[in-house]
Amino acid sequence: MQIIDRQKVNEQIRDLKKKYGDDRSALMPILQDLQEIYEYLPDVVMQETAHSLGIHPVEVEGVASFYSFLRTKEKQGKYVIRLCRTISCDLAGKSNVARQLENEMGIKFGETTKDGKFTLEYTNCLGMCDRGPALMINDRLFAKVDPEKASQIIADCRRDFLKSDFPKVVPSDVKKAGPILDHDLKPAEAIKKALSMSRSEIINTIRESGLKGRGGAGFPTAVKWQLAGAAKGKNKYVVCNADEGEPGTFKDRMLLYEHTDFLLDGMTIGAYAIGASKGFIYLRGEYLYMKKYLEEALENRRSEHLLGKNILGKDGFNFDIRIRMGAGAYVCGEETALIESLEGYRGEPRNRPPFPVDTGFQGNPTIVNNVETFIDSALIIVKGSEWFNIHGTEKSKGMKIFSISGDCERPGIYEFPFGIKVSELLKEVGGEDTKAVQIGGASGHCISQKDFNRTIAFEDIGSGGSIIVFGPDTDMLQVARNFLEFFVEESCGQCTPCRDGNPKLLGGIEMLENGRCSFTYLNELKKLCETIQNASKCGLGQSSPNAFLSIVDNFKPEILGRVPEAD
């Protein structure tokens, strides 16, 4: 057993507090850095962290045990292999890779090899859905892994000679760029323009553009900014939601890397509009490889007076941004869970009201927006609201960036106007013989051919950008099972309908698979879906039955075909 020197731990914590601050909100980054050092979080380390932050050790363990990327029980291997088991990778052949990995290392998922070299784990969507099966080793990514490649990767690890598929950051696969992705704007142009406007003029320009949040829920951005701007409070915050955990979404990964300046422009404009002086980028743990790059980008902006005190010479306008890493919890994409996580707590969604615009980070007015929303805002400020709202529909204005994966010839990132028909989209991506399309990720809806004439828009089928295409041979029960496994794993467990209801639905899928689910029970399960939708506290629970319900409704013959007899 490793002997740990308490005094040394304390010194390390002291240094980390200098870097991250000495209040509770420093807890997550401190634990993340300590785990880097000790390869897991031994009891002493958690105890000393607790003492140092003036909280109970149980609180620290409670936080550490919530996040799948923090380990409290055993030392992880030198190489932590995380294989994506989410839908696109599942359909692309993850099971064969999983078997190969287990054979190569002689361990099961969830275990560490005796020599301490490897830990093998499943993870959810890595944001590489267009090139699955994907896996991650420490912070390096590997795409299109087949059993042969898996075997090669393990051999490379054994020789300590592991080369990532992507030396720096994953290059994007933009298949279709429009006005948002392809423009002539220069970095900081938007901030300069914004600083020549009044705060209300900025918000009104965004209002006239009709921009609605790109993270999925579609809340009007101007309303959010106006309410936060009007809210009482000296310390206001701007938070970029870069948690991108929705299965099938990978456009924020590209935007973060290739449109960084416009994202930071958008955040800075948001700060000016609401009167905030501090901001965070909450970056999902799976995108750790991007942290250094983003930190450099922030540093460059500080030296160009685009962040810091009196930005671009504007007296009194001070704003800076820090990066905070998530740690493998999908629910932390929900904005109140995200704020809890930023504050150093378990990522458990809050009751609303109060809303973050009034009572957000540490009780202060806070706007939380998606990466794409900030980028759109920056572009709108320079190019004007009409430039944006000539695209799209009456209720869903503008262009939208989609992440498209699954059984199609040209998966990748596409920019389409809102209101595009599913059939048009399928033609563009080469998915003409498609059987079903999942719109909006695991929490979205699965539609069949009869609905391919419907449109993607908030007033029809909404989407934060995830589109997963299923070919003619897809087993729709496997799809439903995969999504439910995802929700069972990712539920934070606070409310009974979500915590206990989703395993029941998963049980129902198993019964359907074995032809043992009666119509009566299926109807009971549908009623349970309604309860989960109505009685859950946050969007995760409220939307978790969508995929189950739409698959059961749209693919009845296929699913009921396995029911031996009706009662």
Ligand X SMILES: Cc1cc2nc3c(=O)[nH]c(=O)nc-3n(C[C@H](O)[C@H](O)[C@H](O)COP(=O)(O)O)c2cc1C
User: Which CB sits closer to ligand SF4, 204 or 542?
Assistant: 542
Q: Which of 29, 132, 215, 545 binds ligand X (CB under 6 A)?
A: 215
User: Which CB sits closer to ligand FES, 134 or 169?
Assistant: 134
Binding to ligand FES in span 129-188, by CB under 6 A: 129, 132, 134
Name the binder of 198 from ligand FES, another protein, ligand SF4, none, CB < 5-8 A by kind. another protein
Name the binder of 223 from another protein, ligand FES, ligand X, none, CB < 5-8 A by kind. another protein
For the chain, the distance separating the N- and C-terminal CA atoms, rounded to the nearest angstrom, is 60
CA angle 176, 179, 182 (to 5 degrees): 65
Min. distance of Cβ 86 from ligand FES in angstroms?
4
Kind of pairing between the strands at 174-176 and 412-417: parallel
Structure tokens at 145: 């892994």
Size of the site for ligand X (CB under 6 A): 23
Cβ neighbours, 10 Å, residue 200: 12
User: Which CB sits closer to ligand FES, 62 or 171?
Assistant: 171
Name the binder of 316 from ligand SF4, another protein, ligand X, none, CB < 5-8 A by kind. none
CA angle 374, 364, 282 (to 5 degrees): 40
User: Which CB sits closer to ligand SF4, 49 or 543?
Assistant: 543
528 binds ligand SF4 (CB under 6 A): no
328 binds ligand SF4 (CB under 6 A): no
Alpha helices of 239-370 — where are they, by DSSP H? 251-258, 260-274, 291-303, 335-342
Instruction: Give the range of 8-16, 70-78, 125-133, 447-455 binding ligand FES by CB under 6 A.
Output: 125-133
Task: For residue 130, give the DSSP letter.
Answer: G
Q: How many CA atoms lie within 13 A of 282 on its CB side?
A: 35
Q: Which of 110, 313, 316, 353 binds another protein (CB under 8 A)?
A: 353
Q: Where are the beta strands (DSSP E) in 262-301?
A: 278-283
Binding to ligand SF4 in span 478-497, by CB under 6 A: 491-495
CA angle 380, 253, 19 (to 5 degrees): 95
In terms of phi and psi (left: phi > 0; alpha: psi -120 to 50; beta: otherwise), the region of 441 is left
465 binds ligand X (CB under 6 A): no
Name the binder of 368 from another protein, ligand X, ligand SF4, none, CB < 5-8 A by kind. ligand X
Name the binder of 114 from ligand X, ligand FES, another protein, none, CB < 5-8 A by kind. none
Instruction: Give the range of 56-64, 354-362, 430-438, 548-556 binding another protein by CB under 8 A.
Output: 354-362
126 binds ligand FES (CB under 6 A): yes
Name the binder of 491 from ligand FES, ligand X, ligand SF4, none, CB < 5-8 A by kind. ligand SF4
Distance CA 4, CA 444 (A): 47
b or e along 214-240 (b: 16 or more beta carbons within 10 Å of the residue's beta carbon)?
A: bbbebeebbebbbbbbebebeebbbbb
In terms of phi and psi (left: phi > 0; alpha: psi -120 to 50; beta: otherwise), the region of 535 is alpha
Kind of pairing between the strands at 399-406 and 412-417: antiparallel
C-alpha 470, offset from chain centre: 22
For residue 142, list its beta bridge partners.
Answer: 135
270 binds another protein (CB under 8 A): no
Q: Which of 359, 364, 366, 455 binds another protein (CB under 8 A)?
A: 359
Instruction: Give the range of 52-60, 115-123, 352-360, 488-496 binding another protein by CB under 8 A.
Output: 352-360
Is the separation of the CB atoms in 491 and 500 below 8 Å? no
57 binds another protein (CB under 8 A): no
87 binds ligand FES (CB under 6 A): yes
Q: Where are the beta strands (DSSP E) in 395-516?
A: 399-406, 412-417, 436-439, 445-448, 466-470
C-alpha 192, offset from chain centre: 31
For residue 279, list its beta bridge partners.
Answer: 238, 321
Kind of pairing between the strands at 118-123 and 320-325: unpaired
User: Which CB sits closer to another protein, 369 or 544?
Assistant: 369
302 binds ligand SF4 (CB under 6 A): no
Q: List residues binding another protein (CB under 8 A).
A: 198-200, 204, 207, 220, 222-223, 226-227, 229-233, 275, 353-355, 357-359
Q: List residues binding ligand X (CB under 6 A).
A: 213-217, 219, 241, 243-246, 330-331, 333-335, 368-370, 373, 538-540
Q: List residues binding ligand FES (CB under 6 A).
A: 84, 86-89, 125-129, 132, 134, 247
